[in-house]
Every structure is written in C-alpha cells, then in structure tokens.
Structure 1
Amino acid sequence: MFREIPGGTFRMGLSDAELSALRALDEADASDNSLECFFAGAARMRPVREVRVEPFLIARHPLTVAQIRHWLPEYEDEYAESDGTVARVTDDDLDALVEALPFRLPSEAEWEYAARAGTTTFTFRGNEIPDEDEILDVFADEKRVAASENAFGLAATGCANELCADVWTPHYENAPSDARPRTGDGLRVVRGGGADVSPWQGCDEWLLLLSAFRSAYDMFTAIRPVASLPVVGGR
C-alpha cells in the first residue's frame, strides 16, 4: 500500500535545535552513557539546508518477506520471524531485488521529508526518547502498525535500516537543493535501524530512530519503495 506524499520545502539534516535538545538530554543523564560519540559524528548529518521535494508515492511500510517473494519467489530471510515481518535483504539478494522491483528507491531527501511528516523534532513523535516497546515488533499486528504511523500515514519510520538511492557521502556539503539522489560508485545511504538492534543494550540505540540519522550500508537492509505520481492529462 502506497501513501501519497505532498510536495513541499523542508530543512533537511540535524538542526541546531535538535543538537541542543540532544545535549540537554545528555547533560541530564545521570548514567555513564554519554552521547559524545554521536556528537563527534554529527557532521555527517549536516549542514542543514532547505530542500524542495516534489509530490511522490512511498510504501506505507518496508517490504515484508511475503511481498518480496512476489518478485523473488525463492527469497529466504534468516532475520525474519515470519513472512509478514519486514524483510532484511542481504548482498546476495539486494541487486536482484532492486532490479526486479517495478519501483525505485527513495532519495535520501525524500526519505527524511516523508519520515519527518512536517515535524522538526528528533522523530515525528517529538524530542523525547522513544519507548522501545513502541518501535519493536511493530508488525506483530495491524493495530500496532497503525499506531506507528506518522502524519503522512507512514508506519515505523526509523525502525528498520532502510536503503536509499544516494551513494554515501559523509556530509551534505554541495548537496542538491532538490530531492535528487547523489549518484556515483560506492556504498548506498541507509536510514533508521532502531528495531534492528533489538533488544536495546542501554547504549542509546534510540538515536537510530532520529529522522536525521544516516549511515552507510553495512550488512542488511529493508526496502521501502517509491513511485512517481502519474502525470495528469498526459503531460
């Protein structure tokens, strides 16, 4: 099921306000779990810039094992608990799946714009540390999927490690002001992954849920496909 995302302009990246709020949380934390390692790598989510995004369609949630088998009938997933859970695609199947899909991968800008859904906070829920129970095993039943939707109707954004079309670049310097992906050779960008490191070990894995969080593709990834809106009137 796809959701239609309206076009618009947003501020992409980890903002000064988000950084300040994170530092406040860090200073208030009485444990030894400092966020200094995160702050040291924050440059890869900056500088913040204004990006224009055209309307597009994006899947309500990442593809499940059953959905991937529609295009790759022999697909097996060692990470999935059932056919109805989100697929974690590895190198062995990734290229074949991307080639077989009649859809495309989202650009990094499209992904963040859709995940934020008009918000400017850590996640669409606000600037609080998310409750682990809210994001883990979200596909256990439809009620939990619906409860995880943001204002654009997208479920579980940030929970799975989702692949984008962009090639990994460790910053936003010279990035385009529209939502085109940055192309080239190398690893692709992934977004999210908060549920992929379950159970949390108290090492601030919740930071993976941040709308601005980004990293390079590593071991496995989920796929949330995107499609262009039909052209009205044949133009």
Structure 2
Amino acid sequence: MWAEEIVAGRPARRHVPSGVVFREVPGGIFRMGLSDAELAAVRAIERAGGAEDGLEPFFANAKESQPVREVRVEPFLIARHPLTVTQVRHWLPEYADGYADGDSTTARVDDDLDDLLEALPFRLPSEAEWEYAARAGTTTLTFRGDAKPGADQLLDDFGDEQRTAAAENAFGLVAMGSANEICADVWIPGFAGAPADARPRTGAGPRAVRGGASDVYPWQGCDEWLLLLAATRYEQAGFTAIRPVAPLPPRG
C-alpha cells in the first residue's frame, strides 16, 4: 500500500492506490497561535502602507488565535498538498467539482464532504498538527518570514512539478494557506483550555478551517493575504479542501 520514494529530492511515502504523496513531519514542541511578535509584524506592514484596508477587524479577532501556548506534536505523515480532483475520485469515482479548474488542482469538497471523510483511510489533521506543519520550524507570519505574503505564495495546481517543488517549506509541504483546509477540531474561538499534546478539540458543530487565500483570488484589495498567515483560523462554512494525515508506517 505504501511506497518509499524521493520526491523533489526529499524522502516521501506514496499511498500507492490513490497516488497521494505524504511527507513525514518530525515531532517537536512549538508555540501555537498568533504571537505578539506576529501582531507587531502585521502592524509594521500596515504602517508601511502594505495593507489595502484598515486591519482593526483582524486585530480585534486576534483573540481567536490566542493565547499562544506550547504544544507537543508527535511525528506523523501529512499529504504534501491538498487532495486534487483526481485523487478524490479514487474514493468517490462520480465526484464532480464545480470550483476546480482541472483534475490536478485542489478539490473543493462541498456536498460530498461526509462521504469523502467516511471513505478515506486517513484522518484530518488537528489544528495543532496543521499549524506545526505550516510553520515548519519558523515563528514568523509564514514560513517565508514576516514580510507581507503575495500572490506568488499561492499554489493551487500541482501538475507542474518544478513549480510545486519550488514552493515547498522546510518539511517539504506546499500550499499551506492557499486553500481553506478543514481540520479535525470543532470550531472554538481561542485556545483557552486547549490540549497541549496536539489532540483535536471535539464536540458538535462546524470544524475549524485554516488557509483559504487562493479561494478568494484574484484578490480584491481586502487584505486576503492574511489568510496565508500560519496562525489564521476561522469557522468552516461551505466548500473545503482536504489534506489528510496518516500515522507513520512500521519501520523495516
């Protein structure tokens, strides 16, 4: 079922039946949430004239990604990029995507979400796992630093391997923040009382979502770049992308 490969010069594991490429994310401890340093970096972008609109709503909602806390993450496998239309059709052969531009682009799953989650032999990442994977060892707004991210950081079509490889973070993952990716956690504003071991928060209601900057592209000057920030989170509504997670296969 699994094949070990080298993809873009890095070790990877491919789920052979579906073709989904997974990267191994090492375990570790990181500070999860929107830090004071990141808020200051956004303020600096605003002062430099890099914000099209007033960012007070962003700062007012910062509490939804706070308090910052240390979280321990165990090693896991996560898909190199969100599932594509072709990959979703491995589990749902009749799947039709009204949002995608082609078979190699990110699948935006809507009415088929429950069916897909039931069919997948994998699970959704917890919010902690997702943010840890997106940060890839960094503490900045995105893995590229504290500069304002631009449209060049978006990636939605994975048919061009050269472009895909060039967009990888330190964990070999791409498009973290591009599509709105659903997590295993139920949506709860803020991290007060959240687990310190990367478990998802459970309960009734919509799930938490990360990313989504490419879903509103071309940008209309409403500071959609904020969706690329590693700590940006919000409540699920409508279609969503899926980046599955799997446990490490046994060694040897």
TM-score (norm 2): 0.89
Structure-2 residue corresponding to 1:158: 177
Greater CA drift, 155-164 or 141-150: 141-150
Structure 2 CA distance for partners of 1:100 and 1:55, relative to 1, 3 Å: same
Root-mean-square deviation over aligned CA pairs: 1.4
Question: 5 Å matches for 1:9-20?
Answer: 9-20=29-40
Unpaired segments of 5 or more residues in structure 1? none
Counterpart residue number, 2:71: 51
Identity of aligned residues (%): 70
What letter matches 2:104 in structure 1? G
TM superposition shift of 1:141: 1.5
Matched, 1:118 2:137: yes
Tell me the equivalent position of 1:224.
243
Kindly tell me the number of residue pairs found equivalent between the two proteins: 232
Counterparts in 2 of 1:83-232, with a 5 A limit?
83-90=103-110, 92-139=111-158, 141-231=160-250
Structure 1 CA distance for aligned equivalents of residues 69 and 178 of structure 2: 24
The Cα of 1:146 is off from its aligned counterpart by: 1.1
In the alignment, what sits opposite 2:41?
21
User: Which is helix-richer, 1 or 2?
Assistant: 1
Q: Under a length normalisation based on structure 1, what TM-score does the superposition of the two structures give? A: 0.95
Distance in 2 between residues matched to 1:133 and 1:118, nearest whole Å: 21
* 2:27 maps to 1:7: yes
State the structure with bigger RCO (CA 8 A, min sep 6), 1 or 2: 1
Q: Secondary structure at the match of 1:66?
A: helix
1:110-131 deviations in Å (ceiling 9; x for gaps): 0000000000000001111122
Q: Distance in 2 between matches of 1:98 and 1:137?
A: 21
Distance 2:84 2:49 in 1: 37
Kept after mapping to 2: 8 A contact 1:138/1:148: no
- C-alpha displacement of 1:32: 5.7
Q: Determine if contact 2:52/2:223 at 8 Å carries over to the other structure.
A: no
Check whether the contact 1:80–1:87 (CA below 8 A) recurs between aligned residues: yes
Deviations 1:168-187 (A, max 9, x none): 00110000111100000000
CA distance in 1, matches of 2:48, 2:184: 37
- Give the Cα–Cα distance (whole angstroms) in 2 for the partners of residues 143 and 209 of structure 1: 22
SS at match of 1:221: coil
